[in-house]
Structure 1
Amino acid sequence: MGAVLAKKSIGPVRREFVPWEDPDHPPFIEFRNVTKKFGDFTAVNNLSLKIYEREFFALLGGSGCGKTTLMRMLAGFETPTTGQIFLDGQDLAGIPPFRRPSNMMFQSYALFPHMNVEKNIAFGLKQDNMPAGEIEARVQEMLRLTKLEQFAKRKPHQLSGGQRQRVALARSLAKRPKVLLLDEPLGALDRKLREETQFELMALQEDLKMTFLIVTHDQEEAMTVADRIAVMDKGELVQVATPGEIYETPNSRFVADFIGDVNLIEAKVMETSEAGTRLKAGIGGYDIDTAQTTDASAGDTVWYAIRPEKVRIHLGEPGEGTVNQAGGLVWDIAYLGDMSVIHAKIGEGDHDVLKATFANVSRMVEQPITWDDKVVLSFDRDAGVILRR
């Protein structure tokens, strides 16, 4: 089937690939009403999810949310208590892990220490009795794709952490599974190498035109590599959407707070109309004029979620026409090199603050913001999102 192009997108997109927007497009992986219990503990609760061929999909959540259990059921290492799992139209019930058209790459890498890189990559192929000539060709292909040609004769202890990670990836891909399962694959790498490897994974997935499913607790990692993200909590899906949609239009306070940094402002609905909604902040008592419509009624309590980078900070009076203004006192400052983070106190409590971030685009600042400065914070009508739960 041809791809259905998105009518609109939030945030940058890597490619014109949106099969989830076509209701007739068959899923490649489907979890259908899957529940997994360990004794009295429910790890996954009546979960249904569709993942599409060639998608780079991320399961994201904190420890114990059920994301790894979900992946292990797909791999065959755990059995659903109830429900069904399908891969490429095949019901996986009763099929052992080694018979499934998937391969799993673990965080520990689990390389054979007595084998060199070539032999580690070739191990699974030899177990499948592939002809020697085909094994050699496949190993060389994997070495080239993962940029390991010059390390082919080295053993794992002679490699860096990033190189060992690529060996494990090459070994997982050598059997050409229909789907590659990645369980926290970059957790052992330092931050800079992890960021570099994320882009290498994306390029590799694009080259191979394979389906990748990654489990991670790292929000930035999921936002970087994935076409779509499923945010999980307590064994359930909270939101499934593209990275831009997850970040800009979270469907709950949990998602807004879990993904990135956010100001969550409790407020009362004052007025609703087709042009937007007017709120009154519970702390600070300032008006919030938004372009968003809502099904909440006047007097209802809601939360207004706005990202710190969308909040402007003024040392003097804002310009004419500036909407959504809140006065405050600079309470805390963090200089991060590329950006600065300002916490401005707007209420009496220690946590009654609004956060604002701004890029440090020049090396010199004529009038720097410092502690105890009186400031005004402002933001546009379409800068945030109203949440009801």
Structure 2
Amino acid sequence: MKSLGNIRRNFDPWNDPSARPLIEFDHVVKTFGDFNAVDDLSLDIYTREFFALLGPSGCGKSTLLRMLAGFEAPTSGDIRLGGQSLTGVPPYRRPLNMMFQSYALFPHMSVESNIAFGLKQDGMARSEISDRVAEMLKLVKLTPYAKRKPQQLSGGQQQRVALARSLAKKPKVLLLDEPLGALDKKLREETQFELMDLQQELGLTFVIVTHDQEEAMTMSDRIAVMRAGRIEQVATPAILYEAPTSRYVADFIGNVSILEGTVEDSSSDRLRLAAEGTTITVDNAPTLAKGDAAAFAIRPEKIQLSRRPSDLPGMNVVKGTVWDIAYLGDVTLFNVKLDSGTIVRATVINAQRVAPEQIGWDEEVHLSFPPDAGLILAR
């Protein structure tokens, strides 16, 4: 299959029929009274994978993580680690550790004492504890801060202390529950790359829960998009973005415009869709019958916006009026209102510091895009 989007690293055990998953959720259900937090969910996660559970609040992602950690028990189904069922295994007996959003550092202890706490609880020898703490401090670049208290550190430094404490016991799996939520945007972006590098260096399996799609897309090898206790789609970031399998996933991951229509003609892998008062030609489309309802989804960066329609052969062209403009620095986002009332988003890269003849509000514009720029969503 032709690859979609950028490839972050050559790692895809989920495509190897002989590979055995490290973590298996097997038809897991979790109910709280009459509420199904997790609904008959099955999922495999592989060794050394950086895996993200992504979804809105209340979709069941944190509940899934808590069941894996042992803080909640499944109502039915099974969770296996390395082929062994975790049923009845208490949290402290599971070869994994969890890092919480709040960090939960002991304020009266120094950085090195916070990192050493779990090792002391396990009865590790004092000399081994000293060596392990030094190793963790070096790993997260906090050696000069070993004697400080948490309140003497920045938010990013506290986050790294919590990470070092989670890694000190050398778990097989590290679970991260919204670990970067308390950081500002710039520091959060820097920390994302630090976590990626650390995971690669240690060769561990990371499972992260987040509602931030950019965070999931940046760090993860694969993402499970969750909705109402179920998984909508599991795929690499590039496939989720370029080839979502449902309107929900297309709309949840990044910006997208969805045009509703009816199939006019479908032959081979090309389809013609009557939508929003025009006809759109789509390549690599699923086979649908004439008259079937379908939707066309397209990302804003795939659209060329101009005052005149494109003169390139085979291009789709849709006319509209500029409704809103947002200058974002690297790009400018245009919301264009079609005659049908539907809003379509298009972005223009700000490659020049001074843009001549900038398109403004209420101008009539043409949106042009090739037949392979978007995709048909049948559900």
The TM-score with structure 1 as length reference comes to: 0.96
Alignment partner of 1:49: what SS?
A: strand
Alignment partner of 1:68: what SS?
A: helix
Match of 2:16 among 11, 18, 22: 22
Match of 1:317 among 309, 313, 338: 309
Matches within 5 A, 1:247-286: 247-281=241-275, 283=276, 285-286=277-278
Answering whether residue 282 of structure 2 is matched by residue 290 of structure 1, we say yes
Q: Percent identity of the aligned residues?
A: 61
User: What is the aligned partner in structure 1 of residue 350 from structure 2?
Assistant: 360
Once the two structures are superposed, residues 181-219 of structure 1 have per-residue CA deviations (whole angstroms, 9 ceiling, x without a partner) of 000000000000000000000000000000000000000
The answer as to whether partners of 1:269 and 1:299 remain within 8 angstroms in 2 is yes
For residues 175 and 262 of structure 1, do their structure 2 counterparts lie closer, same or farther at Cα, with a shift above 3 Å needed?
same
For residues 33 and 320 of structure 1, do their structure 2 counterparts lie closer, same or farther at Cα, with a shift above 3 Å needed?
closer
- State the distance in 2 between where 1:8 and 1:118 align: 49
RMSD: 1.0
Once the two structures are superposed, residues 337-374 of structure 1 have per-residue CA deviations (whole angstroms, 9 ceiling, x without a partner) of 1110111111253xx22110011011111111001111
Q: Which moved more, 1:272-281 or 1:203-212?
A: 272-281
Aligned partner of 2:373: which letter?
A
Q: CA deviation at 1:322?
A: 5.1
User: What is the aligned partner in structure 1 of residue 294 from structure 2?
Assistant: 302
User: What is the aligned partner in structure 2 of residue 141 from structure 1?
Assistant: 135
- State the distance in 1 between where 2:340 and 2:228 align: 34
Answering whether residue 225 of structure 2 is matched by residue 220 of structure 1, we say no
Query: What are structure 2's unaligned runs of at least 5 residues?
Result: none
Q: CA deviation at 1:8?
A: 4.1
Match of 2:319 among 297, 311, 327: 327
Once the two structures are superposed, residues 314-347 of structure 1 have per-residue CA deviations (whole angstroms, 9 ceiling, x without a partner) of 1123224151101111111111111101111112
What is the aligned residue count?
Answer: 379
Match of 1:88 among 75, 82, 88: 82
User: What is the aligned partner in structure 2 of residue 230 from structure 1?
Assistant: 224
The answer as to whether partners of 1:121 and 1:171 remain within 8 angstroms in 2 is yes
- State the distance in 1 between where 2:323 and 2:152 align: 50
Q: CA deviation at 1:309?
A: 0.7
Alignment partner of 2:4: what SS?
A: coil
Answering whether residue 73 of structure 2 is matched by residue 79 of structure 1, we say yes
The answer as to whether partners of 1:322 and 1:378 remain within 8 angstroms in 2 is no
Alignment partner of 1:45: what SS?
A: strand
Answering whether residue 343 of structure 2 is matched by residue 343 of structure 1, we say no
- State the distance in 2 between where 1:12 and 1:344 align: 29
Aligned partner of 2:344: which letter?
L
The answer as to whether partners of 1:65 and 1:235 remain within 8 angstroms in 2 is yes
User: What is the aligned partner in structure 2 of residue 370 from structure 1?
Assistant: 360
- State the distance in 2 between where 1:110 and 1:258 align: 31
Matches within 5 A, 1:108-127: 108-127=102-121
Q: CA deviation at 1:90?
A: 1.3
Answering whether residue 373 of structure 2 is matched by residue 383 of structure 1, we say yes
Answering whether residue 17 of structure 2 is matched by residue 12 of structure 1, we say no
